[in-house]
Amino acid sequence: MSEPILHYRIQPAVPEAHLFAVEIEVPDTGASELRLSMPAWIPGSYMIRDFARNLVTLDAACGDRPVAVRKLDKQTWQCSGVSGPLSVRYDVYAWDLSVRGAHLDPTHGYFNGPCVFLAVQGMETRPCEVEIRAPGGADYAGWKVATTLEPGELTEGGFGRYRACDYADLIDHPVEMGEFNALSFPVRGVEHRLAITGRHRVDGERLGADLARICEQQARLFGTLPLRRYLFLITAVGDGYGGLEHRDCTSLMCQRDHLPQPGQSAVTEGYRRFLALCSHEYFHLWNVKRIRPAVFAENALDREVHTRLLWAFEGITSYYDELCLVRSGCIDQKGYLQLLAEGITRVVRSPGRFKQSLAESSFDAWTKFYKQDENAPNALVSYYTKGALVALALDLTLRQRSAGARTLDDLMRALWQRYGQEEKGVPEDGVERLAREIAGFDLREFFERAVRGTEDLDLAGLLAGVGVEMRLRPQRDDADNGGAVDAFEAVSAKPWLGIRLVPKQVEPAIAHVLADTPAQRAGLSAGDSLVAIGGLRATPSNWRALVEAVPPGEPVEVCAFRRDELMTFRVTPRPAPADTCELRLAGESEAVARRGAWLAGATTP
């Protein structure tokens, strides 16, 4: 006889009040006490979120008899005096419109399992059935469901019973319900669906065709597409951005005008960004969801789980998300260099890269990267942006030292074969060991410097080998983040303070004061609101020009409010640093051939 299964039922009970009603039927286990717990975090987003705080009421009963429930800690409930099957009922407040949250109103419902489903302790490995019920009333007659849970008996709109093999599976399939826009396209015979919610216009055919090319490119890279179905759950909003990966789907949030508009054919900056986001989350279906750090294997969701490998799971994924755009033909080589140059600029502009290594940044993601404050640029490095550059450097190093015979693609395939396919966790030294193994030469020094060290990598040297010239120059204006150019033009280093303002504000308020800069030495601080520079009123649009007008080497008086106290600082600007990256296509024919192989995903030039 098969194991008794856990039955979950969820219904948008009161959409206006943002309440989901959830019921669990726990089969008789013979135990008189049962513990229920809510996850503290959601896989893929490394921050304690305490989803239990959104549980409004909780009752339990055995048949008609109420069962005593006692809370043991912030996320655990104990039911005592249980005899026979136990029913648990609770409401969840859902008003967090983010890819990791739950959201319900009369326009749609969305949830991630960790936000709504209690785990029954000791029964996490039992199969589950979940019944998704439609909200009551004629207003909701047009609602349908999008999810990658295994379907059972369903209505035409997709309400009804779904199955999951265990609790971890149950909470890895977000659910969207409403009147979303449904599209689909096949990749290697596997149906890929899109569900787009929020007011929007989209050229669905173009979006499907572009995504199909990107997905195919990644399947070719790994040599397999280990899916039965895939779903892109997209929420289009006026202003917002984010993505969260799952084994068989992804939740994305994007700006509605970043979707390809009907009648438009150019790849806008916004659309390119959106495609890169889709590419990133899709790559995760291998890299982090199936090729997983061993420490994630326990599925511990009640506390932080630390790994020094996030640079490999997020950084390598960030490298490939853009690389796959050029390999699939969605952008050209120059378009790729544009993205790469912007990425290099972001890293060069963070002095924190000299304080924190990628291994440390990964380990402390919970308390540093996910909890960034005004000092973040000085104290930490992003395992995404610098991680992507280390992935690039590793790829180019492998290509260079093996004369084109070995690449990062080989490492990804090896990781898939050794760990992902076998459902084995990657040990903390697994990526490095496998890299050495497939390279056939010593890479210890590379990893020591790139992952555990804080020195800059020699990107210019590595890029030159594939026909890409790199240079760093001073920033021209606030909008200048570097990019791909046809020729390097002279840019002079103007007087500079070393501050960044809070964007899109009426007042010129300081967001960050960079370490070891004139502003920091003079005592300016984050939160200070600039009033005047050199006796002239400072605004968000003119402050930079006021600084640049100061004669070289001379001090200038800066007036600013700290809270409500007016303060004066004597600052001597210095020439702006070369912190902006430009890349250009160049090189001898051999280097151009190597670049072609790299950007096409081939091994030998």
Q: Which residues bind Zn ion (CB under 5 A)?
A: 314
* Residue 420 CB, nearest approach to Zn ion (Å): 16
Which residues lie below 8 Å from residue 20, measured CB to CB, with a gap of 6+? 10, 11, 12, 13, 91, 92, 94, 102, 104, 109, 111, 116
Nearer to Zn ion, 171 or 288 (CB): 288
Smaller CB distance to Zn ion: residue 207 or 277?
Answer: 277
Which residue is at the shortest CB distance from Zn ion?
Answer: 314
Question: What number of other Cβ atoms are within 10 A of residue 533's Cβ?
Answer: 26
Question: Please, what is the minimum distance in Å from the beta carbon of residue 277 to Zn ion?
Answer: 9
Query: Minimum CB separation from Zn ion for residue 281, in Å?
Result: 7
For residue 159, give the 3-state DSSP assignment: coil
Contacts of 531 (CB under 8 A, 6+ apart): 537, 538, 559, 560, 561, 566
Burial of 262 by CB count in 10 Å (0-12 exposed, 13-18 middle, 19+ buried)? exposed
Cα radius of gyration (the chain): 27
Non-local CB neighbours of 557 within 8 Å, separated by 6+ positions: 532, 533, 534, 535, 568, 569, 570, 571
For Zn ion, the closer of residues 314 and 322 by Cβ is 314
Contact of 296 with 44, CB cutoff 8 Å: no
> Rounded to an integer, what is the distance from CA 109 to the centroid of its chain?
22
CB of 370 to Zn ion, least distance (A): 13
Cβ closest to Zn ion, residue 91 vs residue 314 = 314
Closest CB to Zn ion among residues 314, 410: 314
Neighbours of 257 (CB within 10 A): 15
Return the number of other C-beta atoms located less than 10 Å from residue 425's C-beta: 17
Give min distance, CB of 217 to Zn ion, in A. 18
Is 605 exposed, middle or buried (CB count within 10 Å of its CB: 0-12, 13-18, 19+)? middle
Q: Rank residues 54 and 318 by Cβ distance to Zn ion and give the closer one.
A: 318
C-beta of 321: minimal distance to Zn ion in Å? 8
Q: How far is the CB of 315 from Zn ion (least distance, A)?
A: 9
Report, in Å, the least distance between residue 283 CB and Zn ion: 8
Select 176 or 314, whichever has its Cβ closest to Zn ion. Answer: 314
Q: Which is nearer to Zn ion, 314 or 579 (CB)?
A: 314
Q: What is the DSSP string of 476-510?
A: -STT---EE-SSPPP----EE--EEEPTT-SS-BE
